[in-house]
Amino acid sequence: MSILEGKPYKKETMMMSAIVTRDNAKVLQMQGGEIMRQIDQLDRLHDKADSYLHELGTQRLVNWLSLSTIFLLLVVFVLFYLYYLRKISMQRERMVNTLWNMEGTEPQQTFNLSKIEKSSDNLSEGEKDDKTTSTPLPSGDAGGGMFLSRFREVVETRLNNSETSVDDLASDMNLSRVQLYRKIKAITGLSPVELLRSARLARAYQFLLTTDKNVSEVAYSVGFTAPGYFTKCFKEEYGIVPGDVKKMDNEDLKKGN
């Protein structure tokens, strides 16, 4: 071993020897056989160790591949779930926008003034004549469209009333509170309270663009009792505060002039 390890070694090695006689022949034979058995046993142990290490390496590879596969499947599932939620959210957003006819007044980087003026004209006509029939919501379910159209009329007549409750809306729809909730939830995925708030915010957004009212006046005119809460809800809905809407509108008007 010293030679293999590059260490100094003695050139003369004393080797043990034994003289075989009639008296010790059997003993030496037994010792030799025992040594051979031990050598065989060591060889078997080495083979088992090699086999175990090989199996261990294979098992580690299998475990790594399994974990990688599970991780990839989890990532795919999460991405698919997020895509599904986004798709549902966009569908509901389109439905709500169509319901309140506010598609032309969503916050954007640049505003189309002609669409805003058209939406404003439609709003004014609706305020002058509450009996005007609203366009049914486009849907494969005609009954659902008519129901939402009727619900829109009811909500629009109560937008400026801060005390409007779900019970009031249900009463106007000739339904119980539970029936109204289930019907609205099944069609839009939103609750009546959420739709009422969306309608108020959409109307407020239009007022900010088409009137000279300040933020507090707009908040009160669409049924909010606290301007601070109105600002919070508005930012959650559109991603900007009400004051920024007027600033952006003024900038667009200056560019137009």
From 1.10.275.10, 1.10.10.60, 3.30.70.260, 3.40.50.620, which CATH number describes the 104-256 domain?
1.10.10.60
Please report the pLDDT score of residue 88 as a whole number.
66
Q: What is the mean pLDDT of the chain?
A: 74
> Looking at residues 191-211, what average pLDDT do you find?
88
> What are the residues whose beta carbons fall under 8 Å from the beta carbon of 171, sequence distance 6 or more?
none
* Top-confidence residue, 81 or 21: 81
Please report the pLDDT score of residue 232 as a whole number.
92
* Top-confidence residue, 94 or 115: 94
- Using the predicted structure, report yes or no on whether residue 182 has a pLDDT greater than 70: yes
Integer Cα distance of 169 and 41 in angstroms:
89
Compute the radius of gyration of the chain from its Cα atoms.
Answer: 42
70: left (phi > 0), else alpha (psi -120 to 50), else beta? Answer: alpha
Confidence class for position 81, pLDDT limits 50, 70, 90: confident
Range from 14-28, 119-133, 149-163, 187-201 carrying the lowest mean pLDDT: 119-133
Strand extents, DSSP E, the chain: none
Q: What tens digit of pLDDT does each residue of 127-173 get?
A: 444 333 333 334 444 446 788 888 888 888 888 888 888 898 889 88
Please report the pLDDT score of residue 24 as a whole number.
75
- Using the predicted structure, report yes or no on whether residue 42 has a pLDDT greater than 70: yes
- Could you tell me the residue ranges of all domains in the chain? 22-100, 104-256
Helix (H, G, I), strand (E, B) or coil at 212: coil
Integer Cα distance of 33 and 26 in angstroms:
10
- Using the predicted structure, report yes or no on whether residue 239 has a pLDDT greater than 50: yes
